[in-house]
A = this chain, B = another copy of it.
Amino acid sequence: MREDTRTRIQEVALRRFTEQGYEATSLREIAEELGVTKAALYYHFKTKDDIVASLVEKRLIELEKLLEWVRSRPKTPETRRELVERYAADLRDSRHHGIARFLERNQTALRDHPTLIKIRERMMELISELSESGATPTERVSYSLALFALHAGKWLLKEDELPEEEIQKATVEVALRLLDA
């Protein structure tokens, strides 16, 4: 039983938006790869932007859940540690990982997209939850970079051809170490 068209559009769009960028990917391209016409796409999605919205919605919800959780906790080193581990676990999920890569690579092109604006805001809120109000600039940079380390590892070690699991472990280790600044 073959997937429905809507899902296939999302898959192709996500891959091409990630690899070539949102603006450089035309709806004609996507349609051709799927063996349908552009017009068929418009039956499933109102606009090109709407495809993006459908892609990133779940990521926004995930971030909001994480934010709600961390705010229900005392601001302790233990909470920070667990936040980093939960964030890493989210990224480990292949669906979220794909979305996260798409987001990294289209920050500028999609800077005005409503859902992406919210995602950016939630990310900044998450980062600020990592720092106590009295934290020094050095601590702030270090804590913020912790979440970032989890994203960066994937492409930093791409030449080493290490098993996915080992890269995962290394990035989490570095991230946790950044919390001890």
Interface residues of A (CB under 8 A from B): 18, 20-21, 23-24, 105-109, 111, 124, 127-128, 136-138, 140-142, 144-145, 148-149, 152-153, 156-157, 159-160, 162, 166-167, 169-171, 173-174, 177-178, 181
CA distance A35 to B65 in the complex (A): 49
Listed A/B pairs (27) with beta-carbon separation below 8 Å: A20-B108, A20-B111, A21-B109, A23-B23, A105-B107, A106-B108, A109-B109, A128-B159, A137-B157, A137-B166, A138-B170, A138-B174, A140-B157, A140-B170, A141-B171, A141-B173, A141-B174, A142-B174, A142-B177, A144-B157, A145-B145, A145-B148, A145-B156, A145-B174, A148-B148, A174-B178, A174-B181
Would you call B138 and A173 a contact (CB within 8 A)?
A: yes
Would you call A136 and B106 a contact (CB within 8 A)?
A: no
Contact partners of A20 in chain B: CB under 8 A: 108, 111
Q: Add 13 more A-B contacts to A141-B149, A141-B167 (CB < 8 A).
A: A20-B108, A23-B24, A23-B109, A24-B108, A24-B109, A137-B166, A137-B169, A140-B160, A141-B156, A145-B148, A174-B178, A177-B181, A178-B178
Tell me the number of copies of this protein.
2
Would you call A156 and B174 a contact (CB within 8 A)?
A: no
Would you call B137 and A162 a contact (CB within 8 A)?
A: yes
Cβ distance A145 to chain B, nearest Cβ, rounded Å: 6
Would you call B174 and A160 a contact (CB within 8 A)?
A: no
CA distance A175 to B112 in the complex (A): 32
Would you call A145 and B141 a contact (CB within 8 A)?
A: no
Whose C-beta in chain B lies nearest to the C-beta of A171?
B141
